[in-house]
Every structure is written in structure tokens, then in C-alpha cells.
Structure 1
Amino acid sequence: MITATDLEVRAGARTLLLAPGDALRVAPGDRIGLVGRNGAGKTTTLRILAGETQPYAGSIRTSGPIGYLPQDPKEGDLEVLAKDRVLSARGLDEILAAMAKQQDLMEKATDDKFRDRAINKYARLEERFGTLGGYVAEADAARICNSLGLPDRVLAQPMKTLSGGQRRRIELARILFGASDGSGKSDTTLLLDEPTNHLDADSITWLRSFL
């Protein structure tokens, strides 16, 4: 939930948006389209609601997590695989990397005690991975990506090899994956700035249904 109180958005001396009292409010279940001509302040308003920048006047209160897709997402480490970037929304990428490290130690260990420690660490990591949805979550992430026009071969590539449009779809997939546990319910408020950019008609139809 997001509530803006006495919100005023300005660009220089020009007032872009004025919402007195609690006139601007995003409640659970709301689906709101923010429309207006270029330069009307849509992106600036979304950045303020997401906590990325401060309004000229007023305050923003939020409850629950926020999933924000900016027009120009910051992709982070471009060396990571696209799949791992999506999984990072729930911290699954770090667990998988730790599991792979312990598996490598198990295979290379020449000392039984050292191998046993690696086995125990791997077991604890695998249990945590399962608690967070594990391999089912990986399938959910792949399904979201495929629905956005990102096939498995793209997910297996490093982020640096992808086009700008593919990277933006990865960021959208990451936000949608992080906001959903597979049950179709979520307490995350999504703020999506032009989410249909780089999507084809089928992907747009799927996104509308998903939201």
C-alpha cells in the first residue's frame, strides 16, 4: 500500500502534480494506469512513489514491499547469467552458487572430515533452497521469462551478451518473479514504468493476465 500526503511534484518552477491530503493512494488490489503527455511527470512521480527520489513537498508512506521497474533499469553485475539475475529476486542465486561451491569441494576433497563438512553444508543449503521453493521456483522463473519472449537459451547467457531490450525484459521478469510465490497472491506493490516496451502482442496479453 502507498499513500501520498499533500504530494507536490515539480520540475523547476513548473508544478507537474498536486495531490492535496491523501488524494493519491494505492491500495491492495488497485490497478492504476498513470497516463499523460511526454514531460507531464509520470516517471518522476513513479520514482517518488518508489522512494528513489524526494517530492518537492509532501510525504510518502508505504507498507509491504515495492517492485519498481524504471525506464532504464540498473542491471547490476553484467557477468552473471540471465537466469541467475531473475532468481536473485528471492536470493536463490546465492544459494545455488553456494551449493555449487560445496559440491565442488566434496568432489575434490581428499580428507574424509573435510568432505563430511562440505556434505553437511550442502545439505543445509539444499534444505534452505527447498524451503524457498527451490526447483519449483526455478521452473516458475523460466515460465515467466518464456512468457516475456525470453527462451531458455537466453537465460543461459551472461547479461552482458544480451540486447538492451532483452535486459529490460529480464528486469521485468525479475520483478514479477520476486513479487509472486507461485500462488497467484502477493503483498508486493508493483510500480512499472512503461512495462510493455520491447514486448510483442502475445507477451503483452500474458502480462495483462499475470497482473
Structure 2
Amino acid sequence: MCPKIVKKYICLNNGFRFLLKTNTILIIMIALFGVNKDAWRSVGEDKVITFIFTFECLIILFSIFACINPERGNKRHREKKRISKNEWIGMVIAILLTSLLSLFMLPANLPFPSTVIFLILSTNLLAAFYSVIFHKVAIEIYELNVFKENKSITDYTFKYIAILFSSLNYYVQLALKGLPLIIHKLFAILFLIFLAMQLIVTGTVFTY
């Protein structure tokens, strides 16, 4: 918890949580790149380094916004519960569906499972585009899918699909929430451009 004196103005815990969650996403993407290292172009390593460096720069930038914008998001996401059998099954189904959908990227000469990176970035790009116009609605849709009381396997499947497809955008939009409108829109568009650039870099790791 943040001290009461500074809670209204700054909260380092929010920044650390943002760093932890977004870097977890980045580590997963790096692992997916590494699995297909044999398929990298001669400059593939340079492209992956560029991908990581650019990602970290963005993470650090938005973690600052997360620190100075402590009142945000649905607090239910802080509750810790045991993962039930239905949740495990829903998680596995979501991962399998995501993997299958990513196979549509194979014609673009992207090897599996690195195709998952392209899919995740693409879906977050769409979510970011929607968020530029409907910021609050985008946050509410994510929270409705992820933080509601889930019971069935279907509920958990949708929960983890939402996490896989739009969690990166969600954390960034939370960091921007409450900022002055012009600054908010400026950085929302910057994030949109960033995702588009990362998609291009992802492709150039394997193809021209």
C-alpha cells in the first residue's frame, strides 16, 4: 500500500506492478522468439534486440505514468484466489485457441510459435485503436471479462483470451487513465504507433 500522504499524488507500488506485468509479457515474447532462433535472418538478432530495447523504453515511460496516477482500475484484480480445475481447463483452451489462430500467420513466413507474438501484438493494436476513441469502455470490457466472478470453463476461456489478446493494452490504458485529455490522447496514439512498429520488427526478424 502507498503512504496516505503521497497516495493522492504518487504511488511507486503501481509503477512496480506495471513493470512486473508488462515485463512478464515481454519475457514470454522473447521466449517465443528464442524457440525459432534457427529461423532468424542474418540480422534477426539485431532485430530482436531492437524489439526488446524499444519495448523496455515504452515500459519505463508508462511505468512513470502508473506511479503518478494511483487511482485506477478495478481493485478486484488484487484479490488472490486458488486456481480451480475449471480455470486450469479454460486457460489451456485459451492457449490452444490462440496458438491455432496464430497459424494463419504461417503464409507470411513466420514460424510457429513465434506467430503467437504477431497475433498478440495485432490484437493489442486493435484494442489500442479502439481505446483511443473509447478509452473507458475498453477498460470496462477487459475488466468485465477478466475480473468478474467466473465459474464455468467457458467463462475462464474468455477470461484468458482477453488476457492474451488485450492485457498489454489494458495496463497501458490504466496508466494513462486520469491524465489531461490532450496528454492522454497523445500517448495513446504513441502507443498505437509503437505496436505497429513492433509488428513490423517482428516480421523482419524472419522475413524481409
User: Do they fold alike, i.e. is TM over 0.5?
Assistant: no
Structure 1 or 2: larger helix share?
A: 2
Q: Which of the two has higher C-alpha Rg? A: 1
Q: What TM-score do the two structures reach when normalised by structure 1?
A: 0.26
Structure 1 or 2: larger strand share?
A: 1
> Which structure is richer in relative contact order (CA contacts within 8 A, separation 6 or more)?
2
Q: What TM-score do the two structures reach when normalised by structure 2?
A: 0.27
